[in-house]
Structure 1
């Protein structure tokens, strides 16, 4: 299968499931808080539901991948994204909003591992890493499109999510037509889904711990960064409105993770992504001027996608015989960290304010530098 054709189907699906269904919540949070009367603690709790749903879904994806085939899981991901965002558009309170966020969050966990298997089965070996990382860069495209739509629609978050739902249905149809059926499925494959060697698990300890830490540290930015901008007097409205677009467009640079890791090595790619990721939170916590905020957005957008691309390559390199597990494990732990990060972030913000929270979370993320991928 032509890798470009697969990217044309997979990248927009990741844009829908991650950019729209998952990370758009942080963008529209200021409007949601005003419309539904939600405080920071409740906002963090609702955000954590998305990451919790991701954890559940990615485990289910790895369990049933070989039984139902990756194509079926990708289609279910599209359905849950559309369903969840449809519910969000009709939310009249925190409970219904939480239900919609949870269902939409399922789509992210269901969409990532299947593409790794499709790529392994249908794409030539030398094109697999770039294909994986470019599909993963769909998050940045979805983030940028979310920002554009909010600029035009303003505080009308209900209409925004209705349009997201319509786009999700269109992308679902596209994937239905493009993604091929798996050549072979194993009806008794649940036991094989987590079949890895003890040596692989030992080698994965640094990956496990770094994924958790990076998940915790990045959750605050996705959930509360734009809400902080609304409170900064020195930041013009144009930047507040375009903040998410900057993050999304910068994220396109993260699509080069596969290229850079092959040129400068996985270790240096990892360290660079961690430094830039945590520097973005530090800038937001320390400065309230336009230039540092812009640099923070560029740094976060590019480094987050770059970092997740590096984790994909790192995981797949460790678990060579089980690519879906190699992709799913770091993403699962990243999301698990984000569950705690969102909950803790909301509480810390309520006690100390957003600025102190971002500094604390940045310092936490820098700890991940002590871990390193093996060559």
Structure 2
């Protein structure tokens, strides 16, 4: 029963913190650029601020997971989203825009670990993988929503971010009313773990880093690329984000898939789909098939693979679910921060085609990694 309640409030919070606060920047970038006329390298640096903020926040959430209640951390996440989105909506220049992106980025790091703690103590074991996966699927809901709003609002990106701010207020209120007030666990607050656990975490860390680097180009520049690419119908560029978000709903099945077929089968399937989505965009951008297949593969596989990382991380650090979720997400964000900066530089020097082909190849490299069980 509590699993459903947690999904009802957790999924919208993840939708706000990830879909609206973090990944909407890549969607709105073409329209923001019309106002601010930024270089691609500048756009990439601003995008990296969101990931850097995410890293700082998720480390804080893990470190203080036993000193501050999950509900308090989620309130901080909601407030960060509200303030950050509000600043973005009134930003007159790239500096203020970057400040808003950074503050909004904090909300993503604060929002995920607390739910892992609540799930581990409030939800029965057999439903935990599914609950975590469906909460994580909030990213796809947020992404689809931002895509639809962007189409309806066209170039009114400031008004769009104001709407996002209002939604963030409502979602924060719902979580404040529904979530438990007290600590979900009384375990010792520790970040130190056994050598065995860290050995088992090595493939997970490498996989999260490679995936983060690989997908950063897509999140930041795919929309801009498709809107301005030759021989690509305008409607494909406009609906790109909506397709990503709708397809992402399939990612909510990650927990069920893992329970039935195993963790590494789920990992390899999602890596193949994620990497192929970038490769298709770089090699065949003008094909109508690519315009629909690429974002569909990306959306479904990105949400799916983050669900896989959640389960993988918690299985490695099963005594500390917050840390088990936070570590791979932290490394994923570091990879995305690095990838965003280099993506902007590569796009400036060699163009989008080279960028997306390279991103796909980097993703395929993670297929060489295997889960350690001892």
Say if 1:270 and 1:372, in contact at 8 Å, map to a contact too: no
Say if 1:249 and 1:301, in contact at 8 Å, map to a contact too: yes
Measure the CA separation in 2 of the matches of 1:71 and 1:218. 31
Residue of structure 2 equivalent to 1:108: 108
Say if 1:140 and 1:251, in contact at 8 Å, map to a contact too: yes
Which of 280, 283, 292 lines up with 1:283 in the alignment? 280
Matched, 1:356 2:351: no
Measure the CA separation in 1 of the matches of 2:66 and 2:27. 36
Say if 1:216 and 1:361, in contact at 8 Å, map to a contact too: yes
Matched, 1:28 2:28: yes
Say if 1:136 and 1:305, in contact at 8 Å, map to a contact too: yes
Say if 2:68 and 2:183, in contact at 8 Å, map to a contact too: no
Measure the CA separation in 2 of the matches of 1:193 and 1:34. 48
* Superposed displacement of residue 69, structure 1: 1.1
Say if 1:10 and 1:175, in contact at 8 Å, map to a contact too: yes
Say if 1:62 and 1:193, in contact at 8 Å, map to a contact too: no
Measure the CA separation in 1 of the matches of 2:201 and 2:353. 34
Measure the CA separation in 2 of the matches of 1:184 and 1:337. 30
Paired residues for 1:75-224 under 5 Å: 75-183=75-183, 192-224=189-221
Measure the CA separation in 2 of the matches of 1:120 and 1:316. 10
Say if 2:61 and 2:110, in contact at 8 Å, map to a contact too: yes
Return closer, same or farther for 1:71/1:353 CA change in 2, 3 Å cut-off. same
- Structure 1, unaligned runs of 5 or more: none
* Superposed displacement of residue 193, structure 1: 3.6
**Deviation per CA, 1:168-201, whole angstroms, max 9, x where unpaired?**
0000000001111224676x96xx2413221100
Residue of structure 2 equivalent to 1:43: 43
Paired residues for 1:322-337 under 5 Å: 322-337=320-335
**Deviation per CA, 1:16-69, whole angstroms, max 9, x where unpaired?**
000000000000000111111111000000000000000000000001111011
Say if 1:69 and 1:181, in contact at 8 Å, map to a contact too: yes
**Deviation per CA, 1:320-371, whole angstroms, max 9, x where unpaired?**
1011000000000000000100000000000000111100111111110111
TM-score by length of 1: 0.97
Measure the CA separation in 2 of the matches of 1:362 and 1:112. 27
Measure the CA separation in 2 of the matches of 1:342 and 1:6. 32
Paired residues for 1:262-301 under 5 Å: 262-287=259-284, 288-301=286-299
Which of 242, 256, 262 lines up with 2:239 in the alignment? 242
Larger displacement relative to structure 2 (84-93 or 226-235): 226-235
Name the SS of the counterpart of 2:67 in structure 1. helix
Aligned length: 372
Say if 2:227 and 2:238, in contact at 8 Å, map to a contact too: no
Larger displacement relative to structure 2 (229-238 or 247-256): 229-238
Residue of structure 1 equivalent to 2:10: 10
* Superposed displacement of residue 235, structure 1: 1.9
